[in-house]
Chains A and B, each alone.
Chain A
Amino acid sequence: MNSIPVAPVFHGILVEEQVQFTLIELSRACGVEPHRLVALVEEGVVAVRTTVGIDATTKAPSESGTTMPFAAATSAAHSSPPARPPLSDADTRHWRFDGVSLRRARTALRLNHDLELNAAGVALVLDLLERIDQLESRLRRAAGTPR
């Protein structure tokens, strides 16, 4: 009997709306070592959305759902004695990134590698690209835009 195997259909998860990354997960998705992403966070290229469970025993529910810049994330970690050096695994383990960080981080890593830009240069380019996006979006909304 010849039965034709029915190929499964994959549905997938919409990253931008349904995914939060840990540092390790985002590193794996970007195909780089975590320290590369830590450098991007330090430069403000990629934002840590929130930190969860500063201590293994303590949850930080008040912080969930708010964008947390890196400085705030580390100072929160430092507020509990004994003071840890910044960017230890213990700190970064609690980082969570929005799904939209994937695109931003991958673009940043490409620019860093392909154009040999440092983190500050990458940050500037990303900001300018965002500005171009906004201007192009304004064009799209106007009548008679060439396509």
Chain B
Amino acid sequence: MEFKDYYATLGVAKTATAADIKRAYRTLARKHHPDLNKDAGAEARFKEVAEAYKALHDPEKRAAYDDINLRREQQRQQGEAFTPPPGWDSGYEYSGRGDAEASYAHSDFFEALFGRQASNGAGTRRQRSTGARTGDDHHAKIQIDLQDAYFGARRTVSLQVAQRDADGQLALHTRQLDVQIAKGVRSGQHLRLAGQGGAGVSDGTTPAVNGDLYLEIQFAAHPHFRIDDRDVYIDVPIAPWEAALGASITVPTPAGQVQLTVPAESQAGRKLRLKGKGIPSNPPGDLYAVLTLTLPPADTAAQQGAYRHMGEVWRDFNPRASLGMPMTEAP
């Protein structure tokens, strides 16, 4: 088991006051919270920070952690590897994962130290010891490709669920679920799978009602396509003569290649709309080809000659007229 240095995670000294710890947590949480920071590593970083805060801001937990930390340092001085004290992983109690406030699973280290109950929002959800109870709703994220939104896709989702085994102990099991994703879905939308959430409890007369499972759809980043709700954008580089004279060009779309007519005298930044070629929702989105100009290289004498010739033909052309700058003499 990997030892977690919670003080280092929060960037505070072991002697830090409760106020120091709170300030460090708040600062780091604002910086890395996945709702505020869309960077790839932000969520993982926030989870570490949240776990460290959870361990250190509660005086009892902090004292327990400091004890372990001291023991570890003594072991290290004696050249031993860190081993958890006996009895660490006993007394687990699992209190469900439906709580949005406890949507972050904690590390094995945290759960071994404080128990799994502590890592969930214990006390924030209804605790009914008797009678029927509908199971908790569960949430998971599912990543799909943009193409999947065009054609639909089947995905296997792996879910961690708590199940009570024969001797009444709760243990985590992995459950797999095949999900058909209808075409037209967009990033940020949710699929609800009725009855696939947490198990309900029966009171003996009525059957148990399970919670629902919510799957949040996320698109994997694509190297060419940008997605704006149901519209899709792609930058299409064209050569100067294609822009000036017009051209019929081939461009990729998530649904395959299409022919596109570039009108003559197109400037860079011009958007050409392919109506209905965006994400096939109802109504379908559009696909926009955004033209960018790519200059061919001037490596050979002939290529340099061609550019020079252009300069001679457009002797009166002032590219910086809009800046109020005068014409410059050709070299």
Interface assignment of A106: CB less than 8 Å from any CB of chain B: yes
From the candidates A31, A142, A144, name the one contacting B100 in the complex (CB within 8 A): A31
- Shortest beta-carbon distance from A34 to chain B in Å: 10
Asked whether, in the complex, the Cβ of A29 is within 8 Å of the Cβ of B214, the reply is: yes
Asked whether, in the complex, the Cβ of A115 is within 8 Å of the Cβ of B30, the reply is: yes
**Neighbouring A residues of B206 by C-beta, 8 Å:** none
A10-B188 CB under 8 A given contacts A29-B214, A140-B227, A144-B292:
no
Asked whether, in the complex, the Cβ of A7 is within 8 Å of the Cβ of B100, the reply is: no
| Interface residues of B, count at CB 8 A | 60
Among A70-125, those with CB < 8 Å from B are 99, 102-103, 106-107, 109-111, 113-116, 125
Asked whether, in the complex, the Cβ of B226 is within 8 Å of the Cβ of A102, the reply is: no
- Shortest beta-carbon distance from A12 to chain B in Å: 4
Interface assignment of B94: CB less than 8 Å from any CB of chain A: no
A115-B100 CB under 8 A given contacts A9-B154, A143-B235, A147-B226:
no
A106-B100 CB under 8 A given contacts A13-B191, A15-B214:
yes
**Neighbouring A residues of B290 by C-beta, 8 Å:** 141-144
Among B220-264, those with CB < 8 Å from A are 221, 223, 226-229, 231, 233, 235
Asked whether, in the complex, the Cβ of B185 is within 8 Å of the Cβ of A14, the reply is: yes
Asked whether, in the complex, the Cβ of B180 is within 8 Å of the Cβ of A10, the reply is: yes
Interface assignment of A60: CB less than 8 Å from any CB of chain B: no
- Shortest beta-carbon distance from B287 to chain A in Å: 12
**Neighbouring A residues of B216 by C-beta, 8 Å:** 103
A141-B99 CB under 8 A given contacts A8-B178, A15-B192:
no
**Cα A143 to Cα B211 with chains together (Å):** 45
A115-B226 CB under 8 A given contacts A14-B189, A15-B189, A109-B101:
no
**Neighbouring B residues of A29 by C-beta, 8 Å:** 137, 212, 214
From the candidates A10, A28, A116, A129, name the one contacting B211 in the complex (CB within 8 A): A28
A7-B101 CB under 8 A given contacts A16-B190, A137-B228:
no
Interface assignment of B194: CB less than 8 Å from any CB of chain A: yes
From the candidates A11, A137, A141, name the one contacting B182 in the complex (CB within 8 A): A11
From the candidates B137, B190, B191, name the one contacting A103 in the complex (CB within 8 A): B190
Q: Which residue of A lies closest to B125 (CB)?
A: A31
**Please, what's the 1-or-0 string for A22-40, where 1 marks a CB less than 8 Å from any CB in chain B?**
0000001111110000000
Q: Which residues of B contact A (CB under 8 A)?
A: 26, 29-30, 33, 35-36, 46, 50, 96, 98-103, 121, 124-126, 134, 136-137, 139, 154, 176-180, 182, 185, 188-194, 196, 211-212, 214-216, 221, 223, 226-229, 231, 233, 235, 268-269, 271, 288, 290-292
